[in-house]
Amino acid sequence: MIRPRVALACVVAALAGLLAVAFGLGSDRAAVDWSAQRAVVLESDDWGLAGFVPDGGAWEGLERQALAPGRFPDVYWGSTLEDSAQVADLAAVLAGVRGRDGLPAVLQPNYIMGALDLVDGRWRESRLPDLPDRYRRDGLWPAVDAALAAGVWHPEYHGAWHYDPALRRERVATDPLSRQAAERGILLFEGSEGAWELGPWRPLPVLEAELARGIADFRRCFGRPPAAVIAPDYTWDGRIETLWVDHGLRVIQGKREQQHPRRSSGAPGRLLKVLERRWSKLTRPGLTYLERNCRFEPVQAADPAAVTAACVAQIRRAWARGEPAVVETHRVNFVHTDPAVAALGRDQLAGLLAEVAVDGPVFLTDAEVAQLGRRGVSARPLADGRTLLRNAARSRRAVAVSGTAGTGLVMLPAGAVVVLPAGSGEGPASVPAEVDLFD
């Protein structure tokens, strides 16, 4: 018979062992030396979002504070959908700086795929590339195509709506001010701050249908599935991560920022979050969690130049710690109803990139960082069917490439950066672009 104290000791020892495994095996082991790589990743949320307002006049005659949407930085009152000029201007800034591999800086715009618009008292739904009439942006998609072709635009997934559509419909039906806002194409409504798209109250089958549809729309818009995702408002739970994995998403951005609305914000809640982060890394080996370790939100600050200087320092500290520098920078920095705000953000970004370029960085996508960390090699799909291969390991690596011309091996010397042409006809140019290096 086991005495109670012995049993308790066994349980404690087992728990301690479990935690040791979680912390030990869960620690990050990269196949590359990230200090030597000096990698910069630019993650930018809210692209494609038809909001907060369609244009600069949207608030005229409306008491926006009384709408009580929740708290956010003031600059967001003028946040709007990007237009062709803003995309082209930002693409030019990115193209103006090169990494040591000769390739330009690449931005990852994380896209919201759908919008609801109240027209003549009825809700109308649109899905990218279609947009509500109030958010019509002539020439937007050709500008995006040009940025894709220039290799400076690498879209990833943000969400279906950026809010719970059922809650928005309900508030607009019951709150007169929310209704007036919706009638003007304003996305905000009473309490919208807490109406999370991935809130724990939302039924899983609904979320799964939204995700499947969002990914299908993404494929149609950009010609490939997304590999990385950031949850709207950083709010999600374990069941959502399972959905993401099931739908082919391999990289989760911003795990450290994850919000658990039903959890205490005190020490126990924080400890639970740390343990859960470790546990997720251990139990979801097919996923890569990429932490945002640099912050670049200059247009929210009284001293934008100080934000830029701080971000440069954060990038260098990330490299010194042996991490890729993952920079968070929202759309509002480059897209605004006040052109001066967007110009300020672009200028600060140009300054940031110029400063960092002195150190000879490489600009990578989330998927490349994930693949390099696992295998030392990576494949990035480029526009027009080409594929960018990298070997950041210390030795030669072989990459299996398969497609219409069959299967073959491409040998990559250490440090190699190679562009495979699109598959077409015969000869070397027929090497297809199907390379999956995640597993």
**For binding to Zn ion (CB under 5 A), which residues are involved?**
45-46, 232
Closest distance between Zn ion and the C-beta of residue 435, in Å? 30
Rounded to a whole number of angstroms, the minimum distance from the CB of residue 43 to Zn ion is: 11
Q: Closest separation between CB of residue 299 and Zn ion, Å?
A: 15
CB 340 within 8 A of CB 407: no
List, in order, residues 6 or more apart from 119 with CB less than 8 Å away. Answer: 132, 133
Helices (H), 138-260: 140-149, 165-174, 176-183, 204-222, 238-246
Question: Which CB, 232 or 373, lies closer to Zn ion?
Answer: 232
* Smallest gap from residue 232 Cβ to Zn ion (A): 5
Place of tokens 């390739």: 103
> What residues are paired with 123 via a beta bridge?
118
The CA-to-CA distance between both ends of the chain, in Å, stands at 47
Residue 46 CB, shortest distance to Zn ion, in Å, is 4
In this complex, which beta carbon is closest to Zn ion, that of residue 45 or of residue 117?
Answer: 45
CA dihedral 91, 93, 95, 98 (to 10 degrees): -150
Nearest CB to Zn ion, comparing residues 232 and 361:
232
Q: Which is nearer to Zn ion, 112 or 312 (CB)?
A: 112
Q: Which of 96, 102, 147 is nearest to 419 (CA)?
A: 102
Q: How far apart are CA 85 and CA 98, in angstroms?
A: 22
CB-nearer residue toward Zn ion: 231 or 392: 231
> Nearer to Zn ion by C-beta: 193 or 434?
193
C-alpha triplet 366, 247, 27: angle, nearest 5° = 45
Q: How far is the CB of 344 from Zn ion (least distance, A)?
A: 20
Residue nearest to Zn ion (CB): 45
